[in-house]
Amino acid sequence: MAANVEIYTWSTCPFCIRAKALLDRKGVEYTEHCIDGDEAARSKMSQRANGRRSVPQIFINDHHIGGCDDITALNAQGKLDPLLQTS
């Protein structure tokens, strides 16, 4: 079974687009929660993300990874692929 990946985004956010492109290059299926202007959804995301309100916010198997810089750093360190392996 593949890892459960969720990403909270805004449709025009360049960091969101960059994070999704990284996941797409890796062939990762993910659930996108586009929260454009939806304050209730943003509040829910913020609760899950330890108070962070910026987008994107990325979760792998319900574990908060962080944003675009965080997932890019994990990838550069070789730590992203193990997280995306079958659970």
Taking the C-alpha atoms of residue 81 and residue 40, their distance in angstroms, rounded to an integer, is 32
pTM of the model: 0.94
pLDDT of residue 86: 65
Question: Which domains are delineated in the chain?
Answer: 5-84 (3.40.30.10)
- Is the model's pLDDT at 87 over the cut of 70? no
Stretch 4-18: mean pLDDT: 97
pLDDT digits (tens, 9 = 90+) for 24-83: 999 999 999 999 999 999 999 999 999 999 999 999 999 999 999 999 999 999 999 999
Q: Phi, psi at residue 48, to the nearest 5°?
A: -70, -30
Q: Are 36 and 16 in contact (CB under 8 A)?
A: no
